[in-house]
Chains A and B, each alone.
Chain A
């Protein structure tokens, strides 16, 4: 069996998200979900090549949901309390749900609070064990200004996504079947 390989990739930044128009629901998402969803958007056509229930999602979020958790915490003093919508995003894995809903992907989902180094290996493992035929991998790095002081790190807002799929020899690029991320 041919090894899985990366067939598409994309990176998005602040300007991309600010200009994005992905329907009326996009605006209510937390920043991590917006970045993750937009990073995947450019290669969504690749999902048509296999059953949607055979596509997994691996998400790595560097700061978990801390940026959203902080916003929610700040909202507790507001009239009416913090935003119920925001509450639904106080989970590191929330972006997996948004990607799954938008693209109707019903395969396995994995979430890591990390720098994303394990994404390719995890996606490859899922495919080689037969749990999926393809895997959407997303690394979202959202450190809001409010979070900078709390975790002593630089602000960041970006996401990188790539799609790994079960390989066929003629589809793989020359050399290794798996590109280096």
Chain B
């Protein structure tokens, strides 16, 4: 099932309690960490929890999640691939 990037952005905003940021302000291809959205390592852990809560995807090895957390688009593709497997 295709994952809506808008829905995913809303889930990220809610999970990280990002104030004054709307899904429309987040570029699908912008880096989530460092420049771009400016998330940090604690946020990465929070996103892992969000994936389990919202999509029932468990990431046990952070190396597995690293490529997925590049951007909203890569994260959406990761979720789709996990749900299809």
Contact = CB atoms under 8 A, between A and B. Distances in A.
B43 interface: yes
A24 B49 contact: no
A101 to B, nearest CB: 11
Interface string B24-54: 0000000000000010001101101111110
A80 B58 CA distance: 8
Contact of A80 (B21, B38, B42, B49): B49
Contact of B19 (A21, A79, A83): A21
A74 to B, nearest CB: 14
Q: Which bucket holds chain B's interface residue count?
A: 10 to 19
Contacts, number: 41
B18 interface: yes
The binding surface of chain A is classed by DSSP as loop
A154 interface: no
A27 B45 contact: no
Interface residues of A, number: 14
B42 A88 contact: yes
Interface in B42-85: 42-43, 45-46, 48-53, 56
Given A80-B53, A81-B49, A27 B18 contact: yes
Contacts of A23: 19-20
Given A80-B48, A85-B46, A88-B42, A24 B53 contact: no
Contacts of A45: none
A175 interface: no
A180 B48 CA distance: 49
A85 B42 contact: yes
Interface of A: 21, 23-24, 26-28, 78-81, 83-85, 88
Interface of B: 16-21, 38, 42-43, 45-46, 48-53, 56
